[in-house]
Amino acid sequence: MAISVFDLFKVGIGPSSSHTVGPMRAAATFAQALTDQDLLSGTRRVEVRLYGSLSATGVGHATDRACVMGLMGEWPDKVDPTLINARIQQLRETGQLLLAGTQEIAFNWHKDLLLLDESLPYHPNAMSLHAYGDNGLLSEQTYYSVGGGFIIESAEAASGIAPTSDVELPYDFSSAVELLALCNKHGLRVSELMMANERAWRSDEDIRSGLLHIWSVMRECVEQGLRDEGILPGGLDVPRRAAKLHRSLLEIGKPNVITSTLSAMEWVNLFALAVNEENAAGGRMVTAPTNGAAGIIPAVLHYYMKFNPNASDDDVVNFFLAAAAVGILCKKNASISGAEVGCQGEVGSACAMAAAGLADILGATPEQLENAAEIGLEHNLGLTCDPVGGLVQVPCIERNAIAAVKAINATQMALRGDGKHFISLDRVIRTMRDTGADMHDKYKETSRGGLAVNWVEC
């Protein structure tokens, strides 16, 4: 399966790539298919069925709202997050849904959107959509939201074969060993190899402009997070902290040895908190590679851009390309889905990606970069996904800040070495996969174990 950097970094909305972005894409795809098959005008009713983790934490992750917006013809990268609440409220009051943006049908929120206490076999994040006409069923499709906003249809899942593309990459790789061998054989940095692969899809100009657009959305997400204050939605009464922390950092006087070190770390924390608070509020953001872990990569890149006076757009492009190489390995050989392998697949993968990106733009050899990614991922192994209240708030927001600092430390440690180390990145990714398989489902984005059930003081 050929995976592009733009598959891993996608503009979307919060609070979850697998539970919000993926389901919205699935519902929009279904609505578009009705249009393409000339079934839209005959559709009188649509039923959405959510299974597994999508059902267990769907309300807290806004899965229900995402599905409805998708049925209305909205896509995660295009929808205006500020208008969603008003449109949902109007639908609830009128009981009318504008299917694919054109066909008005009746929609009963409680009868046509079902949260089912059962799972489908292929993946924990499953949903099925059914369109009915005057004489019965017109069309149905099952989708799986497999992490990072990726969706696959039931036929693809049943085949047991990963979706493929017709794109032939000049430097295709499925392991870190293969990646390093290609870099050494052709004298390429990891970012250079990834750039060559991206040219199989688009021009240099499009790659560069696309990645700089991703960076602009990340920057705006941070800026918005620094402006917004108050309480995050969802009922936990979690206060936003980024704006207050930002003001306090701006007031710090002339730094000394201690305060300058702590200040730099606090800026990293600030950037991560700002992004993940925006995500929790359902704002515009970039999956990196998921929403639950979306603060790590922008926090590390912001850190570099803020504290390096020589930083440039070239660094931004190379950072994303190198980070994507590690993200591809995690997705191909394990998972980036919290519902499949726990938070190690989200925060762990993002931490490894951020470490790789930073290592590349700091001049690391491919071996040092692989070492940085390995350190970042290794020390997130076993991390459970246990969001309190099914919301991407506690412990998710702070967890991104901790992992961002960890990614920087991983890079620093790797750059002090020669790239040789005891455990390879491939083995750590394989361990993440095996650990996820052994992990009880209650620790995999169901909010039925861990902190999700132990946060109330008895």
Stated length of the chain:
458
pLDDT digits (tens, 9 = 90+) for 15-44: 999 999 999 999 999 999 999 999 999 999
pLDDT at 256: 54
Q: Extract the tokens encoding 285.
A: 């953001």
| Rounded Cα distance, 237 and 230, in Å | 9
Asked if residue 6 belongs to a domain, the reply is no
Residues 206 and 328 grouped into a single domain: yes
| Rounded Cα distance, 60 and 49, in Å | 16
pLDDT digits (tens, 9 = 90+) for 145-194: 999 999 999 998 887 665 556 789 999 999 999 999 999 999 999 999 99
Asked if residue 215 belongs to a domain, the reply is yes
Strand, coil or helix: 76: coil
Residues 285 and 368 grouped into a single domain: yes
Strand, coil or helix: 381: coil
CATH number of the structural domain spanning residue 135: 3.30.1330.90
pLDDT at 458: 43
Percent of the chain, pLDDT > 70? 96
First vs last C-alpha separation in the chain = 49
pLDDT at 164: 52
Q: What domain range includes position 98?
A: 15-159
Asked if residue 9 belongs to a domain, the reply is no
pLDDT digits (tens, 9 = 90+) for 408-417: 999 999 999 9
Angle, in degrees to the nearest 10, between helices 347-361 and 190-198: 110
pLDDT at 456: 61
**DSSP state, residue 45:** E
Residues 260 and 147 grouped into a single domain: no
Strand, coil or helix: 345: helix
Q: Extract the tokens encoding 400.
A: 């991104």
Asked if residue 431 belongs to a domain, the reply is yes
pLDDT at 379: 98
Residues 299 and 354 grouped into a single domain: yes
Residues 143 and 210 grouped into a single domain: no
| Rounded Cα distance, 109 and 95, in Å | 8
Asked if residue 131 belongs to a domain, the reply is yes
Domain boundary (124, 159, 194) is at 159
Residues 410 and 340 grouped into a single domain: yes
Buried/exposed code over 251-286 (b: 16+ C-beta within 10 A; e: otherwise): eeeeeeeeeeeeebbbbbbbbbbbbbbbbbbbbbbb
Contact 113, 68 (CB under 8 A): yes
| Rounded Cα distance, 297 and 352, in Å | 9
Residues 267 and 405 grouped into a single domain: yes
Contact 340, 174 (CB under 8 A): no
Domain boundary (105, 128, 159) is at 159
The total of structural domains in the chain comes to 2
Residues 217 and 189 grouped into a single domain: yes
Exposed, middle or buried, 89 (CB in 10 Å: 0-12/13-18/19+)?
A: exposed
Residues 346 and 398 grouped into a single domain: yes
Residues 264 and 337 grouped into a single domain: yes
| Rounded Cα distance, 71 and 132, in Å | 14
Asked if residue 166 belongs to a domain, the reply is no
Asked if residue 396 belongs to a domain, the reply is yes
Torsion angle of C-alpha atoms 100, 103, 105, 108, degrees rounded to 10: 20
Low-confidence ranges of the chain (pLDDT < 50): 257, 458
Residue whose C-alpha is closest to residue 298's, from 412, 362, 216, 189? 216
Residues 306 and 441 grouped into a single domain: yes
pLDDT at 251: 86
Asked if residue 164 belongs to a domain, the reply is no
Q: How many C-beta neighbours within 10 Å does residue 158 have?
A: 11
Specify the residue for token string 């001049």: 363
Domain boundary (126, 159, 192) is at 159
Residues 24 and 70 grouped into a single domain: yes
